[in-house]
Amino acid sequence: MSIVNNINHYNEQLAPYNTRLIAVSKTKPVEDLLQAYEGGQRDFGENKVQELSAKEEVLPKDIKWHMIGHLQRNKVKYIAPFVHLIHAVDSPKLLAEINKQALKNDRVIACLLQVHIAEEETKFGFDETELMDFLNGDSLKEYNNVKILGLMGMATNTSDKAQVSKEFDQLKSLFNQIKSNFDLENVDMQELSMGMTSDYIEACQAGSTMVRIGSAIFGARNYPQQ
């Protein structure tokens, strides 16, 4: 199947859930992204700042760029002028830096707070207690140049679909709790980013508003040989 056919296939799969497709284009050449763009795709996800910045320079300006990978604070300045949504804000210090760089660029940058839901130590993110402490604290209220639009999470990498669904349901429950109980000017819970190629159906069933799918659209990733 072509890239455009793959895009259409996933959009058809997601439509009943009203879930948006983020086409994860990491390691893929600009030509592949242009094919997806010409097929109507506008939301693209990258996990490395250098690659994201390089592609943004040469591709159409109506693309919405999603930073989906672990973001180092010293790299925020490179994407602050244009990034549409930062999915993986995993610490108060990172959000403070995003706010600082957004102010320099006279922007309000949309962000998702990453929550650690997997039974794996390799995943980044707030645990539930840390998240609630942060939302109840004073520092967030002072950040006028960020907007918290929701939460992001990655389930355990397992073939146990019941386990995956349980983790997604927990994140949805936390999302609903925050949406109902927090009335801050810079918190507007709209987006729940969860689900990838292997578990997007479970994510959609749990209420995901956006899924991150890459190799199933573009083919195997082009990692350089060692």
Q: pLDDT tens across 130-189, in order?
A: 999 999 999 999 999 999 999 999 999 999 999 999 999 999 999 999 999 888 889 999
Q: Is residue 176 domain-resident?
A: yes
Q: Is residue 225 domain-resident?
A: no
- pLDDT class of 222 with cuts at 50, 70, 90: low
Cβ atoms of 156 and 167 within 8 Å: the answer is: yes
Q: Is residue 51 domain-resident?
A: yes
Q: What is the CATH number of the domain that holds 90?
A: 3.20.20.10
Q: Is residue 224 domain-resident?
A: no
- What percent of the chain shows pLDDT beyond 70? 96
pLDDT at 220: 80
Tell me the pLDDT of the chain averaged across its residues.
94
pLDDT at 226: 47
Which range has the top average pLDDT, 62-76, 175-189, 207-221? 62-76
Confidence check: pLDDT of 225 > 60: no
The answer to whether the Cα torsion of 152, 155, 161, 167 is positive or negative is negative
- Domain total of the chain: 1
Q: Is residue 154 domain-resident?
A: yes
pTM recorded for the entire structure: 0.94
> Measured between alpha carbons, how far is 173 from 151 in angstroms, rounded to an integer?
11
- What percent of the chain shows pLDDT beyond 90? 87
Q: Is residue 223 domain-resident?
A: no
Confidence check: pLDDT of 121 > 50: yes
pLDDT at 76: 98
pLDDT at 224: 56
Structural domain of 86: 3-218
Q: Is residue 226 domain-resident?
A: no
pLDDT at 123: 64
